Structure 1
Amino acid sequence: MNEYIVGVDIGSSKICAAAGKYDKYGKLQIRGITSVSYSGMKNGVIVDMDNTANAIKNCIKQLEGMVDTQVLGFYISLPSRIGTLVSNRGVVAVASDDREISQKDVKRVINAAKIVKVPTDKEIIGVIPKQYIIDGYDKIKDPVGMSASRLEVDSYVILAESTVISNLFKTVEKAGYEVLGMVFQPMADAEVVLKKEEMDLGCALVNIGADSIDISIYKDEKLSYTSCINIGGNSITNDIAICLKLPFSEAEKLKIKYGIIGIDNLELKDSIKVNLGYNNVIKINSSMLLDVIEARAEELLKLIMKNLKESGQYSQISGIVIAGGGLATIKGIEELGEYVFKKPVRVGTPDYVGAINPAYVSAVGTVRDVLNTMKANKSNNNVEDEAAVACEETSKKTSSKQKGPIIKIKEFLTEFFE
């Protein structure tokens, strides 16, 4: 595990990439992180393959410069909006004579859970266990090492549209890289920004992007609900552009620089100078700018509130955590959120040097999830690291291009959530 693991979040307006590995003390270190703006994706679907491929290439090249390592492949986060969760149960008999449950038994029961009717336009991309059951005893988190004659798993089977996944893979290949695996974004995000107590008591994680809002609810440390709203932070930018008669790009800059809600906005001057180029400088009313930002931000939060209530789990939520780049970077969003939700609200950021930005949550979460999975597989198997075997196979395939070994996991989400 001495090589960097690279996680990439292909969002609606930005591609974020992070590189990390464990240090000698077994602690994850994020050694490089960067992002590139682009316009090749809408609502999780590739709409411009060339634009997206070029953005991926530029992003990875920037990352390579930071870590001084060639990247041949990476892991990507899969947004919940392009995946569907289907509940299903798998059942197997414990194979060993002494009835001790092994890691192989867990893999077998996960595969058994995949036996579900799949629409012709979708495919199974992974399984998320909710709980294990041994001989009728439920709520087992890790059955390995326990004794039983029968092992069951209650799980979510993740389905995704085949064409969407295929086009995503083709775009990465077009950029000159390989998809080494996928991580379900809500799970990766939760590992980075949610506390164990929050996941146990009940918490909503809201990832607000440019054109969509992904909502996940956790209870008893398990994912219990996912949903998506097809509107995001770009709606604020559009409002600024229309109301103040500005180009979209300038409106976005104003939102990022002056996005403030609440009493702090009194610090702004009456007017703000905007340079439109060619010596064309205009003044805009700062109070109007802030009124537009606050009005749309409140509307987005009310849409989230409506979705949470429709989930039927709102009363079980102890707090809300906001991540992503759409609203999380606006000052005062926590106070406005508490006013709308009537519950504690905080902005979630990765707790790593150089990556303390809510927009980097999914990229960092992907790196952490992959490394944690590799570590768990190694400790559970107590034999040669499965990732190292895959690494050797990958080295043979890419020896002409590769300077150092790149770790590859053959199975995607199934192993990630065991």
Structure 2
Amino acid sequence: MNEYIIGIDVGSSKICAAAGKVDKYGRMQIMGITSANCNGVKKGIVVDIDKTSESIKQCIDSLERMVDTKITEAYICLPGGICELVWNKGVVAVASEDREIKENDIKRVLKASKIITIPSDKEIVGVIPEQYIIDGYDKIKDPVGMSGLRLEVDAQIILAQSTVVNNLLKSISKAEIKVLGIVLQPLAISQVALKEEEIQRGIALVDVGAQSTDIYIYEGSNLVSIDTIPLGGNTITNDIALCLKLPFSEAEKLKIRYGSVGEESVSYDSPIEVNVDYNGKVHVDYFMLKQIIEARIEEILYLIDQKIKCSELYEKISGIVLVGGGLALIKGIEGFSKHILEKPIRVGAPEYIGAASPLYASAVGIVKDVADSIKDKGFMTEVKKESEDSNREWTEERDKKDNNNGFVSKIKEFFTDFF
């Protein structure tokens, strides 16, 4: 089990799970990915623990068959729409006598940044360090190893309702999965759907789910805004079901298979045959279906546009990236959206074989985020081990030579001090 990193994304209509591992070259590989329908979550909030737990079990069972191992531990993501960002500062004195900043100093300053007044119904679920400041010098990303007397951090404190988080954790625990850690959903998605240049320049990440649309705005490498619209892909399906008098499940199949917008979409001359029940069939006109889908998508896009413009960051945004299964899977959505959002737009998807779908962005992003953390720690351990081995070999070689005392012993002292 230890060789796989498991990421679980609990969504309003689907549970997605991904299994990944880091190969010997330090590259992450996705070894398996799957999804299962879910009816126990509404707008990112668990409303039925039993149903959600059962869906998680089905999803994990399917993933276990793919990777041929028992899964008992996983990392999960917390939807950004149920979270709140609060800016705060932490300040500590550097503890070591030589004034070198160590990992423990980072932990202390991040802990200090959490000292804020929060409502009784909320809890701190994470901290995002935006920049570190050493003795007044700011914009430092990684201060470990640097020297200073005073260490500060500007951080975003992530708050969420305690009951919402607890119900999510209970659902996963009931599925007999131990939660090893929580990743904020926008940070997970940004790992696999956004480019570093886009995050630096300013980008809007729009995650359209089944029942809600989350809008995340990045500027200068930082997540600066989270907003939510209470409409998603299920709204389009409901319109199809009501207008064409079809069951919801058949309307969903129609949307996935034939859903398209704009002039570039494929045309169907003959009517589409749909099963209404066990005995009856109806024929649906493709152009009628397209009009229904376009009308609702146009409304969702206008609402997204209004939210982005109201954030006062509109001018700083260089483009928009769509993820999730609500809009990103609709044919022709990129060209159709440009006329409304008036920004360069693309569909974001993980660039991994077998997982290159915007539907899997969150699950793959969790694995990527955890893999990067493990890889960094593993790399430092490996460097330390290699340096110790080098010192040992060098010492053994030096012991064989009695007459090399001057220049060589100075190098040895340097290596000893350095490592």
Equivalent pair of 2:11/2:38 in contact (CA under 8 Å): no
Cα deviation digits, residues 248-278 of structure 1 (max 9, x gap):
1111000000011122345212411101232
**Residue aligning to 1:411:** none
| Paired residues of 1:270 and 1:287 also in contact (CA < 8 A) | no
Counterpart position of 1:171: 171
2:339 paired with 1:349 = no
Q: Show the counterpart of 1:406.
A: none
The aligned residue for residue 296 of structure 2 is: 296
Match of 1:73 in 2: 73
Higher relative contact order (CA 8 A, sep 6+): 1
| 1:29–1:352 contact (8 Å) kept in structure 2 | yes
Q: Is the 2:265–2:332 contact (alpha carbons within 8 Å) kept by the matching residues of 1?
A: no
Paired residue for 1:83? Answer: 83
In the TM superposition, 1:271-286 aligns within 5 A as 271-286=271-286
Q: 1:380 to 1:98 in 2, by over 3 A?
A: farther
Kept after mapping to 2: 8 A contact 1:319/1:343: yes
Conserved? CA contact 1:200–1:221, under 8 Å: yes
SS in 2 for 1:119: coil
Check whether the contact 1:21–1:29 (CA below 8 A) recurs between aligned residues: yes
CA contact (8 A) 2:209 2:232 kept: yes
Q: 1:326 is matched by which residue type in structure 2?
A: G
Measured after TM superposition, the shift of residue 336 of structure 1 is 1.3
The answer to whether the 8 Å contact 1:135/1:151 transfers is yes
Report SS of the residue matched to 1:226.
strand
2:44 corresponding residue in structure 1: 44
Instruction: Tell me if 1:333 matches 2:348.
Output: no
Query: What is the match of residue 27 of structure 2?
Result: 27
Whole-angstrom CA distance in 1 between matches of 2:2 and 2:115:
37
Aligned-partner residue type, residue 166 of structure 2: S
The whole-number CA distance in structure 2 between the counterparts of 1:351 and 1:301 is 26
Cα 1:381/1:224, change in 2 over 3 Å: farther
Q: Which amino acid aligns with 1:33?
A: I
Structure 1's consecutive aligned runs of 4 or more residues displaced over 3 angstroms after TM superposition are 377-385
Is residue 26–residue 375 contact of structure 2 (8 Å, CA) maintained in 1? no
SS at match of 2:171: helix
Contact kept in structure 2, 1:46 and 1:168, CA below 8 Å: yes
Take 1:39 and 1:375, find their aligned partners in 2: how far apart are those partners? Answer: 36
1:61 aligns with 2:61: yes
Q: Give the C-alpha shift of residue 220 in structure 1.
A: 1.3
Measured against aligned partners, the alpha-carbon deviations of 1:298-334 in whole angstroms (never above 9, x if no partner) come to 1111111111011110110000000000000001111
Question: Which structure has the larger Rg over C-alpha atoms?
Answer: 2
Match of 1:222 in 2: 222
- Structure 2 unaligned segments of length 5 or more: list them: 386-419
Q: Secondary structure at the match of 1:15?
A: strand
> Per-residue deviation at 1:46?
1.0
Cα distance in structure 1, aligned partners of 2:157 and 2:116? 8
Letter in 1 for 2:172: V
Return the alpha-carbon distance in structure 1 between the equivalents of residues 326 and 100 of structure 2: 48
User: RMSD of aligned C-alpha atoms?
Assistant: 1.6
Give the structure 2 partner of residue 365 of structure 1: 365
Quote the residue 2:319 is aligned against: 319
Tell me the distance in 1 between the aligned counterparts of 2:193 and 2:53: 29
CA offset at residue 178 of structure 1? 1.3
Within 1, Cα distance between the matches of 2:61 and 2:100?
A: 48
Q: Is the 8 A contact 1:2 1:22 kept in 2?
A: no
Aligned residue for 1:200?
Answer: 200
Distance 2:248 2:235 in 1: 11
The reply to whether residue 120 of structure 1 matches residue 135 of structure 2 is no
1:415 alignment partner in structure 2: none
- CA change 1:87–1:78 in 2 (3 A) is same
State the number of aligned residues.
385
- Residues in 2 aligned to 1:88 and 1:380: alpha-carbon distance in whole angstroms: 30
Identity of aligned residues (%): 57
